[in-house]
């Protein structure tokens, strides 16, 4: 095999045993890797509850990892979400995906539950379990520091869970190499439930490439497109400002979620933009293995600069105007190992329900209490929806399928309304990311205030991103490149004949399988929805930009069109015909 | 949706790329709709069904483009590969189908955004908007046109002039003259401008005039104006004839990143302004300027094949420098090569790409120079092909 190692490590934590799974090449070609492989391996187990030891937690790389294909350093983690009960996968950067391939594996499939806290050490020469009790109760940077200091682990890539996971926070994350998050939906809690504290991987093997010239040609095509992309490498783009580059744009388009989505315009935004961080913290760039864009930013004193979502939610969403407090809140979440988007929305929900404006100090205290599961805040750690339901105000939770919304108000980009609703993991922007065309004009601009025709666009984008997460590559790259160039890279690496459109078919199957998994767990059209606020209340309009409520009828019509295009029935459920067409069990 | 289909059907005609009534544009959400009934629709619906796309354009281009495309088809196998920037960055290659059938076209479109169908024209698709199909359509025509003339000049230079093309030339050039608009008097605003409204108005007019003069294929190209501490610049992928709402204000110190949607050439524009003296920049893709930039008769140059990034000779078309540079940033990017090249000049031609011109007050000089440079290049081209082979 080229590209793939052909080996997946299976780990049974209950028995503390490991084995090797060797899938035939046609399965690899059909699933590619990452999200696709995860879905294939987890499919039959989705009947289990998230905390059932039989529910696997999968870490899968793709054929491009550990090759010179641009942004090939990412991987996918998947399990069932403790927050939503739905499929939950996260694409994560850092080094672990690359290094896992160097250790000789395409992925790790973890089941069971260890009796004591343990860690898993994977090298090209063998696999070992280690006691991890001494790492409990520590902040993420301490854990990471100790792993880096442990004999034999120094050169490794590491994934770990922090105190938030130990304390039952339903949006606890898995943290990779200190800074990279498998952030959303509580994958950290799944790992903690298994009493798996860390993964440490090292290796030096090479990944076989089928045709180096072909890969090099694809790489050049991609680099050329990246260099031509203002959003990526322009002076104001991601390479220079990080994802925070979006902050000013969201403000000027009047779609910045403010005060728990009651407003869409944040007065103080100009003093809290990416430029402000750059000046105040003298930022430098860093990023994932295998990436030349390097969209992550760190301050001169080592402060990690928040990503766009975090910047926005810890400022506009909670009405905070203190820049340092945003950085501190981000640090707190990083150290606890919890998702900043869900945490931000949980705080905003609390603020709306209690009617209390939050001071910077209150924000930080509350976050600390959430992470440690202390007092009333423990309920906020169960997610915005559970908290709002408990308070008798479920409509105040800005979630879809129980997953809190990121920093794009759907009233400012209607495609986002449909994308939030249909996303298999809930209120997530990354499945279809219509912001690309509705706001960033890529590949071309579409009318952001219209739902007409968006159903098919959303469907195609979901399929496309399913491929991107399976390759595995970085979604940001697709502001510039397309599957056309990546099909060539995949072909160069693996030797399989493919094309942009053939890959979209693969993506369609991967995504449809997730719909089946959710349907089997009781998800229906009722769950493919967004909060009523967006249909009833206006955002913050200006003279030239009207932020009106979304027309409910138009939304339902477009959702129905989406179901038809996706091959689902009127209830959003899989149909035998489509299952058969895609060769999936119904 | 229907509105969009009609818009791009009309644009193909308005830009002289198709005859009236010719373009067939389809859109798909949960069902397919067409801008008009057409016998080709049935076969095209098979193509749509086989692909994950949301729109398709099928049309026979106007002359001289149709003849040029067919000539490329005659000479090529599965595809042809022009070497201009548009192909290099965006199309990669232009695949050729021999019949208007789904069986032949689908495999091509699985790989590429559009294809040529011999004797029929162009089929191209979009995944979020028919605008993509429109862009691919016009890019294919642009690239094919440029390749046609570049190849011919080289055949002439090699002492083995392509006789088929030579025979076609009079008609092709006559049709091209018909394609070009009669020189209309263009009245652009007199500057200096300082108010945003005046700036936007001047930019919109200059953009429209550039498209009307057929000196840019609408989607590409960019335009900017410098006032106060701010560069006002067209957004990425905006059409120069539709600039309303598509101009970003970018402060020089980058203190706001709202302009993340600004043209990829923002840095190049900004650095030109920082060199001093200029207030307006216009960038178009006039065809003969691009053709001339790709004609280099330097014998045995070790950079041949990589001219677009590596060329290190000083090249000129009369007083206008021809420079290498890829779109965007980076050491081989336009952002490094362009600003020094235009310093103290009317403008510069970027290899295989297009022309940048400048103005010290408003867009009048920039526009006039764009059109003068194109005329100059066409004259130079005619001289090259009618003279004896050099050496
Ligand atoms: S762009 Fe950023 S997230 Fe994507 S691979 Fe590069 S560093 Fe990682
Ligand atoms: Zn099971
Ligand atoms: Zn250009």
Tens-digit pLDDT profile for residues B8-23: 999 999 999 999 999 9
**Using a CB-CB distance cutoff of 8 angstroms, which residues of chain B are in contact with residue A437?**
128-129
Question: What confidence category does residue B255 fall into, taking pLDDT thresholds of 50, 70 and 90?
Answer: confident
Number of CB atoms found within 10 A of residue A498's CB: 20
Q: Kindly report the nearest CA distance between residue B329 and chain A, in angstroms.
A: 6
Q: Is A93 in the pocket of ligand 1 (CB under 6 A)?
A: yes
Put the strands of the sheet holding B79-80 in their side by side order.
B32-34, B24-28, B55-59, B121-126, B114-117, B94-97, B79-80
Write out the two tokens for B24.
């067939």
- Whether the CB of A463 is below 8 Å from some CB of chain B: the reply is yes
Q: How many A from CA of A435 to the centre of ligand 2?
A: 37
Q: Helix, strand or coil for residue A301?
A: coil
φ/ψ of A231, rounded to 5, equals -65, -35
Q: Is B196 exposed, middle or buried (0-12, 13-18, 19+ CB in 10 A)?
A: middle
For ligand 1, mutation pick of A226, A295, A481 (most atoms within 8 Å of CB): A295
Gap from B89 CA to chain A (nearest CA, Å): 6
As a whole number of angstroms, the longest Cα–Cα distance in chain A is 66
Beta-carbon contacts of A542 under 8 Å, excluding residues fewer than 6 positions away, are A254, A265
Is A308 part of a structural domain of the chain?
A: no
Which pLDDT score is estimated for A586?
83
Confidence of residue B326 (pLDDT cuts 50, 70, 90): confident
- A584 domain residue, yes or no: no
Q: What are phi and psi of B363, to 5 degrees?
A: -95, 0
Nearest CA in chain B to A498: B111
Mutate to test the interface with B, among A236, A265, A293, A563 (most CBs of B within 10 A): A236
Angle among Cα B356, B361, B362 to the nearest 5 degrees reads 65
In a domain, A149, yes or no: yes
Question: What pLDDT does B218 receive?
Answer: 54
Quickly name the fold that domain B2-179 has: L-fuculose-1-phosphate Aldolase (3.40.225)
How far is B239 from B220, CA to CA, in rounded Å? Answer: 7
Q: Give me the residue from B1, B128, B254 closest to A444, CB to CB.
A: B128
**Taken in order A238, A242, A244, A245, is the CA torsion positive or negative?**
negative
- Angstrom distance (rounded) from CA A241 to CA A328: 19
Contact B326 A230 (CB under 8 A): no
Q: What pLDDT score was predicted for residue A293?
A: 87
* Most A-contacting residue of B127, B218, B309 (CB-CB within 10 A), to test interface: B127
Q: What is the pLDDT along chain A (586 residues), one digit of tens a residue?
A: 999 999 999 999 999 999 999 999 999 999 999 999 999 999 999 999 999 999 999 999 999 999 999 988 899 999 999 999 999 999 999 999 999 999 999 999 999 999 999 999 999 999 999 999 999 999 999 999 999 999 888 889 999 999 999 999 999 999 999 989 999 999 999 999 999 999 999 999 999 999 999 999 999 999 988 988 888 988 888 988 999 999 999 999 999 999 999 999 999 999 999 999 999 999 999 988 888 888 899 999 999 999 999 999 999 999 999 999 999 999 999 999 999 999 999 999 999 999 998 999 999 999 999 999 998 899 999 999 999 999 999 999 999 999 999 999 999 999 999 999 999 999 999 999 999 999 998 889 999 999 999 999 999 999 999 999 999 999 999 988 999 999 999 999 999 999 999 999 999 999 999 999 999 999 999 999 999 999 999 999 988 889 999 999 999 999 999 999 999 999 999 999 999 999 999 8
Which ligand 1 atom is the nearest neighbour of the CA of A74? 5
Beta-bridged to residue B115, according to DSSP, are B123
Q: Is A473 in the pocket of ligand 1 (CB under 6 A)?
A: no
For an interface test with B, which of A214, A220, A230, A504 has the most B Cβ atoms less than 10 Å from its Cβ?
A: A230
Instruction: List the single residue in B29, B135, B263 with the smallest CB-CB distance to A455.
Output: B29
Judge: B53–A442 Cβ closer than 8 Å, yes or no. no
C-alpha distances out from residue A307 to A273, A340, A430, B256, Å: 11, 9, 14, 16
Closest CA to B221 of B81, B92, B350: B350
- Give the residue from A422, A409, A497 showing the smallest Cα distance to A456: A422
Q: In this complex, is the C-beta atom of B93 within 8 Å of any C-beta atom belonging to chain A? A: no
- With b for 16 or more beta-carbon neighbours within 10 A and e for fewer, the A342-376 pattern comes to bbbbbbbbbbbbeeeebebebbbebbbbbbbbeee
Instruction: Quick: pLDDT tens for B129-168.
Output: 999 999 999 999 999 999 999 999 999 999 999 999 999 9
Q: Which residue has the tokens 């031609």?
A: B349
How many CA atoms are closer than 13 Å to the CA of A296, on its beta-carbon side?
16
ipTM: 0.87
Contact residues on chain A for B326, CB-CB shorter than 8 A: 224, 227-228
B93 secondary structure, DSSP code: -
d(CA A23, CA A338): 34
Half-sphere exposure of A471 (CA within 13 A, CB side): 34
Instruction: Name the CA radius of gyration of chain B, rounded.
Output: 21
Pick from A228, A445, A501: CB nearest B52: A501
- Distance CA(A336)–CA(A165), nearest Å, equals 8
Tell me the nearest-neighbour CA distance from A556 into chain B, angstroms.
Answer: 14
User: How far is the C-alpha of B281 from the C-alpha of B221, rounded, in Å?
Assistant: 11
* Residue B388: per-residue pLDDT: 65
DSSP state of A53: T
Atom of ligand 1 nearest to the CA of A71: 5
| pLDDT range class, residue B391, cuts 50, 70, 90 | very low
Beta-carbon separation of A221 and B92 below 8 A:
yes
State whether A233 and B329 contact (CB < 8 Å).
yes
Per CATH, which fold does B196-386 belong to? Answer: L-fuculose-1-phosphate Aldolase (3.40.225)
Beta-carbon contacts of A441 under 8 Å, excluding residues fewer than 6 positions away, are B235, B236, B237, B238, B261
Q: List the A174-176 sheet strands across, edge first.
A: A126-131, A118-123, A196-201, A157-160, A174-176, A180-182
- What pLDDT sits at residue B283? 95
pLDDT of residue B280: 97
Say yes or no to pLDDT of B381 above 80. Answer: yes
The CATH number of residue A106's host domain is 3.60.9.10
Q: Is A413 within the bounds of a domain? A: no
Q: Is A241 in the pocket of ligand 1 (CB under 6 A)?
A: no
Which run of H or of E encompasses A126? strand A126-131
Residue with tokens 């996968």: A89
| Closest to A407 in 3D by CA, of A269, A309, A264, A547 | A309
Residue A287 Cβ contacting ligand 1 at under 6 Å: yes
**Atom number in ligand 1 closest to CA A238:** 1
Read off the tokens for B119. 């004797």
What tokens appear for B285 in the block?
């893709």
Question: Is A334 close to ligand 1, i.e. is its CB under 6 Å away?
Answer: no
CB contact under 8 A, B266 and A236: yes
Partner A contacted by B306 (CB < 8 A): no
- Residue A143: inside a domain: yes
| A-chain residues near B256 (CB < 8 A) | 248, 270, 273, 275
More confident residue, B325 or A578: A578
Q: Which of B103, B20, B115 is nearest to B58 (CA)?
A: B115
Q: Domain range spanning residue A74?
A: 8-201
In-domain check, residue A57: yes
pLDDT of residue B219: 59
Q: Is any Cβ of chain A less than 8 angstroms from the Cβ of B30?
A: yes
**A174-176 and A296-298 as β-strands: parallel, antiparallel, unpaired?**
unpaired
Task: With respect to residue A98, please indicate whether it lies within any of the assigned structural domains.
Answer: yes
- Report the pLDDT value the prediction gives residue B298, as an integer from 0 to 100: 84
Domain edges within chain B: 2-179, 196-386
Q: Which residues contact A562 (CB under 8 A, 6 or more apart)?
A: A418, A422, A455, A456, A458, A459
Instruction: Using the Cα atoms of residue A480, residue A485, residue A490 and residue A492 in order, give the sign of their dihedral.
Output: negative
For a ligand 1 pocket test, name from A62, A64, A71 the mutation site with the most ligand atoms within 8 angstroms of its C-beta: A71
Q: Please, are residues A383 and A342 in contact by the beta-carbon 8 Å criterion? A: yes
Q: Which of A249, A452, A499 sits opposite B260 (nearest CB)?
A: A249
Size of interface A-B (CB pairs under 8 A): 159
Distance A584 CA to ligand 2 centre (A): 18
Q: What is the largest CA-CA distance in chain B?
A: 63
Query: Residues with Cβ < 8 Å from A43, sequence gap 6 or more?
Result: A513, A516, A517, A585
Q: Running DSSP on this structure, what letter comes out for residue A357?
A: P
Q: Counting runs of H as helices and runs of E as strands, what totals does chain B give? A: 13, 15
Name residues whose C-beta falls within 8 Å of residue A19's C-beta, 6 or more positions apart in sequence. A9, A10, A12
Test site for ligand 1: of A287, A292, A468, most ligand atoms within 8 A of the Cβ: A287
DSSP track, B263-304? -TTHHHHHHHHHTSS--EEEEE--HHHHHHHT----TT-TTT
| H or E segment and range at residue B349 | strand B347-350
pLDDT of amino acid B191: 81
Count of domains in chain A?
A: 1
Omega cis (within 30) before B64: yes
Token readout for B102 is 């789904």
CA A82 – CA A188 distance, rounded (Å): 10
CA distance A29 to A468: 14
Ligand in nearest proximity to the CA of B350: 3
Pair type for strands B280-284 and A180-182: unpaired
Task: Give the mutation target among A70, A93, A98, A240 for probing the ligand 1 site: most ligand atoms within 8 A of CB.
Answer: A93
Closest in A252, A499, A508 to B110, CB measured: A499
Joined together, the tokens standing for residue B226 give 């410098």
**Can you give the three-state secondary structure of A514-543, one letter per residue?**
HHHHHHHCCCCHHHCCCCCHHHHCCCCCCC
Q: Copy the structure tokens of residue B179.
A: 């394609």
Which tens digits make up the pLDDT trace of B270-303? 999 998 889 999 999 999 999 999 999 887 888 8
Check if B94 contacts A (Cβ < 8 Å). Answer: no
- Report whether residue A295 contacts ligand 1, using a CB cutoff of 6 Å: yes
Q: Is residue A33 part of a domain?
A: yes
> Dihedral, CA atoms, A293, A294, A295, A296, nearest 10 degrees?
180
Cβ of B263 under 8 Å from any chain A Cβ? yes
């Amino acid at each position: 095999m080229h590209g793939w190692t052909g080996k997946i490590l299976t780990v049974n934590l209950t028995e503390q045993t490991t084995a090797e799974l060797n899938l035939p090449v046609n399965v690899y070609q059909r699933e590619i890797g990452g999200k696709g492989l995860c879905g294939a391996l987890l499919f039959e187990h989705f009947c289990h509850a998230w905390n059932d030891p039989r529910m696997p937690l999968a870490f899968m790389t793709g054929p491009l990892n550990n090759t010179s294909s641009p942004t090939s350093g990412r991987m996918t983690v998947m399990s069932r979400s403790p927050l939503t009960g739905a499929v939950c996968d996260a694409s994560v950067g850092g080094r672990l995906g690359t290094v896992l391939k160097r250790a000789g594996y395409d992925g790790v499939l973890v089941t069971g539950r260890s009796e004591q806290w343990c860690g898993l050490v994977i090298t090209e020469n063998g696999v070992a379990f280690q006691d991890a009790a001494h790492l409990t109760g520590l902040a993420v940077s301490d854990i990471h520091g100790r792993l880096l200091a442990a004999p034999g682990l120094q050169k490794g890539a590491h994934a770990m869970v922090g105190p938030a996971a130990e304390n039952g926070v339903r949006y606890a994350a898995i943290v990779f190499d200190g800074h990279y998050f498998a952030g959303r939906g509580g994958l950290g809690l799944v790992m903690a439930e298994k009493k798996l504290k860390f993964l440490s991987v090292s290796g030096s093997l090479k990944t076989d490439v089928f045709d180096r010239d072909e890969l090099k040609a694809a790489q050049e095509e991609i680099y050329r497109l990246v260099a031509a992309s203002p959003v990526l490498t322009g002076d104001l783009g991601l390479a220079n400002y990080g994802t925070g580059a979006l902050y000013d744009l969201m403000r000027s388009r009047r779609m910045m979620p403010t005060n728990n989505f009651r407003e869409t315009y944040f007065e103080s935004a100009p003093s809290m933009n990416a430029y402000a961080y750059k000046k105040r913290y003298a930022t430098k760039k860093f990023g994932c293995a295998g990436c030349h864009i390097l969209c992550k930013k760190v301050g001169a004193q080592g402060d990690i600069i928040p990503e766009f979502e975090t910047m926005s939610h810890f400022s506009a969403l909670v009405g905070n105007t203190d820049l340092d407090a945003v950085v501190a809140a981000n640090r707190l979440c990083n150290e606890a190992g919890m998702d900043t988007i869900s945490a931000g929305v949980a705080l905003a929900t609390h603020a709306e329900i209690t009617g209390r404006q939050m001071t910077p100090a209150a924000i930080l205290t509350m976050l600390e209490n959430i992470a440690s599961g202390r007092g009333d805040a423990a309920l906020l750690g169960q997610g915005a929806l559970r908290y709002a339901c408990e308070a008798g105000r479920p409509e105040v939770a800005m979630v879809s399928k129980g997953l809190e919304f990121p920093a794009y108000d759907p009233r400012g980009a209607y495609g986002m309304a449909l994308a939030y609703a249909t996303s298999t993991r809930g209120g997530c922007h990354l499945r279809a990311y219509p912001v690309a065309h509705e706001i960033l004009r890529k590949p071309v601009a579409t009318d952001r205030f219209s739902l007409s025709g968006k159903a098919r666009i959303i469907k195609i984008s979901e399929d496309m991103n399913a491929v991107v997460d399976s390759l595995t590559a970085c979604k940001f790259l697709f502001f510039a490149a397309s599957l056309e160039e990546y099909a060539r890279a995949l072909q160069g690496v693996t030797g399989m004949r493919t094309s942009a459109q053939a890959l979209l078919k693969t993506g369609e199957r991967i995504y449809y399988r997730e719909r089946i998994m959710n349907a089997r767990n009781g998800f229906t059209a009722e769950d493919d929805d967004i909060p009523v606020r967006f249909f009833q209340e206006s955002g913050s309009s200006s003279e030239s930009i009207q932020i009106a409520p979304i027309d409910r009828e138009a939304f339902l019509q477009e959702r129905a069109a989406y179901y038809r295009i996706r091959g689902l029935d009127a209830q959003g459920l899989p149909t035998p015909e489509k299952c058969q067409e895609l060769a999936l069990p119904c | 949706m229907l509105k969009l289909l009609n818009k791009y059907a009309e644009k193909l005609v308005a830009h002289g790329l198709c005859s009236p009534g010719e373009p067939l544009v389809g859109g798909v959400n949960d069902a397919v709709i067409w801008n008009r009934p057409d016998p080709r629709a049935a076969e095209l619906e098979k193509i749509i069904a086989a692909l994950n796309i949301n729109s398709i354009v099928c049309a026979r281009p106007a002359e001289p483009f149709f003849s040029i495309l067919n000539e490329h088809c005659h000479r090529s196998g599965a595809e042809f590969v022009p070497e201009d920037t548009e192909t290099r960055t965006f199309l990669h290659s232009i695949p050729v189908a021999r019949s208007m059938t789904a069986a032949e076209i689908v495999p091509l479109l699985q790989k590429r955004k559009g294809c040529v169908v011999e004797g029929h024209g162009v089929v191209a698709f979009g995944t979020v908007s028919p605008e993509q199909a429109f862009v691919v359509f016009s890019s294919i025509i642009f690239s094919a046109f440029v390749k046609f003339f570049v190849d011919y000049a080289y055949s002439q230079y090699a002492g083995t002039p392509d006789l088929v093309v030579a025979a076609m030339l009079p008609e092709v050039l006559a049709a091209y003259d018909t394609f070009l608009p009669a020189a209309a008097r263009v009245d652009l605003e007199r500057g200096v401008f300082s108010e945003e409204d005046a700036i936007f108005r001047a930019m919109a007019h200059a953009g429209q005039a550039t498209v009307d003069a057929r000196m840019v294929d609408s989607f590409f190209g960019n335009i900017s104006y410098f006032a106060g501490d701010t560069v006002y610049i067209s957004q990425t992928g905006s059409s120069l004839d539709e600039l309303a709402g598509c101009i970003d204000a970018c402060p020089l110190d980058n203190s706001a990143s709202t302009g993340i949607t600004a043209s990829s050439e923002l840095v190049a524009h900004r650095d030109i302004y920082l060199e001093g003296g200029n207030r307006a920049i216009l960038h178009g893709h006039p065809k003969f300027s691009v053709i001339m930039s790709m004609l280099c008769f330097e014998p045995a140059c070790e950079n041949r094949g990589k001219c677009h990034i590596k060329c290190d000779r000083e090249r000129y078309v009369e007083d206008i420098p021809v420079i290498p540079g890829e779109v965007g940033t980076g050491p081989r990017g336009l952002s490094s090569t362009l600003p020094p090249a235009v310093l103290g000049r009317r403008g510069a031609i970027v290899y295989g790409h297009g022309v940048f011109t400048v103005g010290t007050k408003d867009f009048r000089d920039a526009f006039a120079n764009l059109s003068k440079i194109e005329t100059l290049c066409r004259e130079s081209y005619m001289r090259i092909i009618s003279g004896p082979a050099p050496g």
